[in-house]
Structure 1
Amino acid sequence: MSVRRVMGTETEYGISARGGEYENHAQLSFDVIQAVAQLNPRTQHVRWDYGSENPVQDARGYAMPRAHVRSDLLTDSPALRATNAPQVNGARVYVDHAHPEYSSPEVLTPRDAVTYNRSGDEIMRRALETSGQQITLYRSNVDGKGASWGSHENYLVERSVPFEQLATLFTVHAATRQIFTGSGRVGLGQASEEPGFQISQRADYFTQKVGLQTTFDRPIVNTRDEPHASDAYRRFHVIVGDANRMDVPELLKVGTTSLLFWALEHDANPATFLESIALADPVSALHDVSHDLSVTQTYRTLQGEELSAVQFQLRLRSWVYAVAASTYDTDSRGEPLWPDDDTKEVVALWTQVLKDLLKVSKASADERLSMTEEAGRLEWLLKWQILESMRRRKATHWSSPLLKAMDISWGSLAQSSLWEKVASRSQRLISQGRIDTAAKNPPEDTRAYTRGRVLAERPEEVIAVSWDTVTLADGVLHMDDPYTFTAQHKIDSTNRS
């Protein structure tokens, strides 16, 4: 049992420029991509190859007619092809729905997922500093006025697992994991119709359980089926998560999700467990969990049981333990002998934050303000502590423009941001040196290694790249298996067509 699988993240950045009330966000985003491209002038000619992309293929077994879908679903549109900057670390930077987006390279571990996600921030910062443009980018998801943009996750999952089981499991996890993955937000409702503070930035923007779309009528379970790999796999595309500044929530976001997918892939009969834990109304639960800072409210399962978000997570963790115990030996305490340090780390942190949340559930608002150790692992709690302290000091309300401005500043990549002032209070897992290295070098254990190295070392030979191909002047490298073309893989003429 392991958290290790092919995974990756996508970050759409909020964007603003000094000055104008009437700034053109699409043009600003294009300017950012141009600045990123200029960091590596030798690769500016390289195109992104959309040939293998099919954004209308649905995981439920059919394809939506292109003529019948909204244009913003067609992410392979020819109009977007000039707004790409493939990176020497294996990532892709491009304009997506008027936002600059960084799509990380494929990685195998939660730690690397966090590292390469953070390296996107460094690439963006470096590009803006080099270009001298007065643009600010935000690792956030909302503007507080009704607009929301994404922070997505991708997991390569065995296609033999029925999609309905994936959907049932993930809706429960998505609705309840936000108690330790949420990054916090000022305002309740999509346009902050009510004053207040909530756990998740994204929760209020989801209105359906399952669907193909990503920018309207957002579903908890997105059904886009583009594996960028062989038909043995599906890419489970997650759009419901928050953008995190802290390491622990981000690592747990991808780590616990990967771990649960492993359990589903290896449990011989998961149906009984899934039936026992399925939410009666997952969309309402998603909203309500985010609005409950006490983490004590309960939510009904289809079988009529009432459980809190913490209790749902404890059930999920117990199931993982049960599947692991049937797969591996256990130690004298009954702890499964986890196969690698990455899995041990995720399990230990998952256990710890659930203990933290049990303490939160028993604390008053005044007591929550002094929970500094727990806030070092729970981003929403740390943000709430800072903003609530300011609210009390100023004797103001959650509708205060000051608190809204502080909320926005939290996501800013600028060195003067609120986050930079309080980052030392959080539990750091990834060193700045590792992030800087990842901004310039691809991971060595997936096909991203070949994509990045070819761009860095032989850019004049490269015509175009995609997730699963590299088009060279003398042929095409087909990389359908993301576990190959690693640092151990020799590229020769037999790989080309």
Structure 2
Amino acid sequence: RLPFNHWVERLVPFLVTRQLYAGAGKVGTELNDDRSFSGLQLAQRSDFIKTVLSIETMTQRPIINTRDEPHATQDKYRRLHLILGDANMSPYATALKIGTTRLVLTLIGEDKLEQPLVLENPVDDIKAISRDHTGAITLRRTNGKMITSLEIQELYLDAAGKNLSGQCKEWDWIIREWARTLDELKHSPDMLSDRIDWAIKKDIFTRFTESEGVGWDDPWVKSLDLEYHNLDPERGLYRGLEQAGGVY
């Protein structure tokens, strides 16, 4: 078996940057030291991540939870408990979130990733990335070099393409859509507004604030943010888009 730290070093940078396509979007912030922020974040849970590793789920929320409580044959399977992910409305975003994570875990388990890309401040980075819609924010590695959040995702994608392509149709779909999404984020981010939750919200809320002449800190916008996730087909904002054919 590979040591636990081997998994952590190689998984954390992926999880920190996964919100570029897996974030469900969030208006504003609850952080007391960042009350001036009133726009749209990529992810809902990034503000609440306090540490890299912890068994806690209510206070010291971690990037990777260390709870060792198997729910399958312990000799064959290990538990990976992640609480940093959002509850997506978009099935596409959910598929990409779970699928890319599956591929990265396969790469780590087969030791197919090169020297780990260790970030100096992953907890701070996850919050900073959530406030950047471009993937261009630079993060410091422990070796002193800088890298963008998008470049990190591209490195994982490249490894998946080289090592896992052609093994099954599902994996090929994930790799293809992962590449498509990162490319559109870099070159034409508006094209994400039919299938990535935070981008859908950005498109809708931007048009709403402009037409109504209100700011992003207006309670009306925060109310729409909540209604986006309403599962009632008669009231839910995403459900309405789904019925109208406005989302993937």
2:107 matches 1:266: no
**Residue from 146, 163, 166 that aligns with 1:306:** 146
Report the Cα distance in structure 2 between the residues aligned to 1:195 and 1:161, rounded to whole angstroms: 43
**Residue from 389, 394, 398 that aligns with 2:207:** 389
Partner of 1:343: 171
- What SS does the corresponding residue of 1:209 show, helix, strand or coil? strand
RMSD: 1.7
Q: How many residues align?
A: 242
2:248 matches 1:407: no
**Segment of structure 1 superposing worse, 201-210 or 161-170:** 161-170
Deviation of 1:295 (Å): 2.3
Deviation of 1:347 (Å): 0.9
TM-score (norm 1): 0.47
Report the Cα distance in structure 1 between the residues aligned to 2:96 and 2:10, rounded to whole angstroms: 16
Deviation of 1:283 (Å): 0.4
Report the Cα distance in structure 1 between the residues aligned to 2:111 and 2:38, rounded to whole angstroms: 44
- Kept in 1, the 8 Å contact 2:134–2:186? The answer is no
Report the Cα distance in structure 2 between the residues aligned to 1:186 and 1:380, rounded to whole angstroms: 10
Report the Cα distance in structure 2 between the residues aligned to 1:214 and 1:169, rounded to whole angstroms: 22
- What SS does the corresponding residue of 2:136 show, helix, strand or coil? coil
Deviation of 1:342 (Å): 1.1
Q: Cα deviations across residues 323-364 of structure 1 (Å, max 9, x unaligned)?
A: 44xxxxxxxxxxx4x22111111111111111111124xxxx
Q: Cα deviations across residues 216-253 of structure 1 (Å, max 9, x unaligned)?
A: 11011100111222232211111110100101110011
Deviation of 1:420 (Å): 1.6
Amino acid at match of 1:273: Q
Deviation of 1:190 (Å): 4.1
TM-score (norm 2): 0.92
* Residue correspondence of structure 1 range 274-313 to structure 2 within 5 A: 274=116, 277-313=117-153
- Kept in 2, the 8 Å contact 1:300–1:307? The answer is yes
Partner of 1:256: 100
**Residue from 55, 62, 74 that aligns with 1:212:** 55
Partner of 1:84: none
Report the Cα distance in structure 1 between the residues aligned to 2:89 and 2:162, rounded to whole angstroms: 33
Report the Cα distance in structure 1 between the residues aligned to 2:154 and 2:145, rounded to whole angstroms: 15
Partner of 1:184: 25
- Kept in 2, the 8 Å contact 1:188–1:291? The answer is no
Partner of 1:426: 247
- What SS does the corresponding residue of 1:384 show, helix, strand or coil? helix
Q: Cα deviations across residues 141-199 of structure 1 (Å, max 9, x unaligned)?
A: xxxxxxxxxxxxxxxxxxx2321122122211111010001110100244783322110
**Residue from 168, 172, 189 that aligns with 2:13:** 172
- Looking at secondary structure, tell me which structure has more helix per residue: 2
Report the Cα distance in structure 2 between the residues aligned to 1:309 and 1:173, rounded to whole angstroms: 9
Structure 1 gaps of 5+ residues are 1-159, 325-335, 361-367, 428-497
- Kept in 2, the 8 Å contact 1:206–1:218? The answer is yes
2:71 matches 1:228: yes
**Residue from 159, 163, 167 that aligns with 2:4:** 163
Identity, % of aligned positions: 26
Amino acid at match of 1:216: T
Amino acid at match of 1:243: A
Report the Cα distance in structure 2 between the residues aligned to 1:173 and 1:189, rounded to whole angstroms: 25
Deviation of 1:265 (Å): 1.2
- What SS does the corresponding residue of 1:307 show, helix, strand or coil? strand
Q: Cα deviations across residues 396-445 of structure 1 (Å, max 9, x unaligned)?
A: 11110110100000111112111122222221xxxxxxxxxxxxxxxxxx
- Kept in 2, the 8 Å contact 1:410–1:419? The answer is yes
Amino acid at match of 1:298: T
Partner of 1:198: 41
Report the Cα distance in structure 2 between the residues aligned to 1:273 and 1:266, rounded to whole angstroms: 14
- What SS does the corresponding residue of 1:346 show, helix, strand or coil? helix
- Looking at secondary structure, tell me which structure has more strand per residue: 1
Structure 2 gaps of 5+ residues are none
Report the Cα distance in structure 2 between the residues aligned to 1:290 and 1:237, rounded to whole angstroms: 21
Report the Cα distance in structure 2 between the residues aligned to 1:292 and 1:189, rounded to whole angstroms: 17
- What SS does the corresponding residue of 2:134 show, helix, strand or coil? coil
Report the Cα distance in structure 1 between the residues aligned to 2:160 and 2:169, rounded to whole angstroms: 16
Q: Cα deviations across residues 7-31 of structure 1 (Å, max 9, x unaligned)?
A: xxxxxxxxxxxxxxxxxxxxxxxxx
Amino acid at match of 1:211: S
Report the Cα distance in structure 2 between the residues aligned to 1:220 and 1:357, rounded to whole angstroms: 24
Amino acid at match of 1:186: V
